[in-house]
Amino acid sequence: MKCLSCENLSFQIICNTCQKNLLEPSFHKRELKKDFFNYSFYTLSELEDLISSKYYFHGDRVFNILAKLSFAKFGQNFNFPNQVLAIPIDDHTRHDFSHTAILAKHLKSEFITPKYNILKASNIVKYAGKDLEFRKNNPRKFKVSNIKNQTLILCDDLITTGTTILEAKKALEKQNNKVLFSLTLADAKL
């Protein structure tokens, strides 16, 4: 097959050379609310085409590579006094796989355990290209299942305004959970 980036022949959907030269993550921090932060590994401009692969059959392979380069490294370096659960935001499978579940899976480490099917949006509205007012007027209305009194990390592919993450955090906190921070592949505001 051809590498999505350089179009050279490769056994992987993104060749090792492009992974090393083009997909080296950097770490970005954004405060969403007082003392609550989102950490991302890329800017949206670095990954825009790759993130949109979530809408196609090959997207699971792309997200596994991106997660291996970022989320997995983070998970291996994360240290905390007690066990933390990684919760993917709305880990639905509308396109034969869940991109947020893939990200959470790669956080698995000594201190982080991924948990799936916990946080589901009951309002399946598309936010792509929509402004903050639209997002606020059309909340996701998250339903939380089978999780209380836990310490959590939220996982998503992209942060734009932060409204989805803050809404997810609020829904989880209603069940007496503590959300430490959120992790995203990319930040659209950088």
d(CA 1, CA 96): 21
Q: Are 184 and 157 in contact (CB under 8 A)?
A: yes
Average pLDDT rounded to a whole number, residues 21-34: 96
The mean pLDDT of the chain is: 94
> How sure is the predictor about 155, in pLDDT bands with cuts at 50, 70 and 90?
very high
Average pLDDT rounded to a whole number, residues 118-133: 83
Structure tokens at 71: 């989320």
Confidence at residue 140, expressed as pLDDT on a 0 to 100 scale: 86
Q: Name the helix (H) or strand (E) containing 118.
A: none
The DSSP annotation for 87-152 comes to EETT---TTSS-HHHHHHHTT-SSSEEE--SSEEESS----TT--HHHHHHS---EEE-S--S-EE
> How sure is the predictor about 128, in pLDDT bands with cuts at 50, 70 and 90?
confident
Confidence at residue 129, expressed as pLDDT on a 0 to 100 scale: 75
74 to 23, 68, 94, 147, 175: CA distances (angstroms): 15, 9, 27, 24, 27
DSSP letter at 55? G
d(CA 14, CA 140): 33
Confidence at residue 137, expressed as pLDDT on a 0 to 100 scale: 86
Average pLDDT rounded to a whole number, residues 167-177: 97
Confidence at residue 29, expressed as pLDDT on a 0 to 100 scale: 98
Q: What angle do CA 22, 12, 5 make, to 5 degrees?
A: 35
Average pLDDT rounded to a whole number, residues 50-55: 92
* Percentage of the chain lying above the pLDDT 70 cut: 99
Which amino acid is present at 40? Answer: S
Confidence at residue 171, expressed as pLDDT on a 0 to 100 scale: 97
59-116 pLDDT, tens digit per residue, is 999 999 999 999 999 999 999 999 999 999 999 776 789 999 999 999 999 999 999 9
Confidence at residue 131, expressed as pLDDT on a 0 to 100 scale: 80
State the pairing for strand pair 142-144/119-121: antiparallel
CA 163 to chain centre: 14
66-70, 78-82, 118-122, 134-138: least confident range? 134-138
Q: Which domains does the chain have, with CATH numbers?
A: 24-187 (3.40.50)
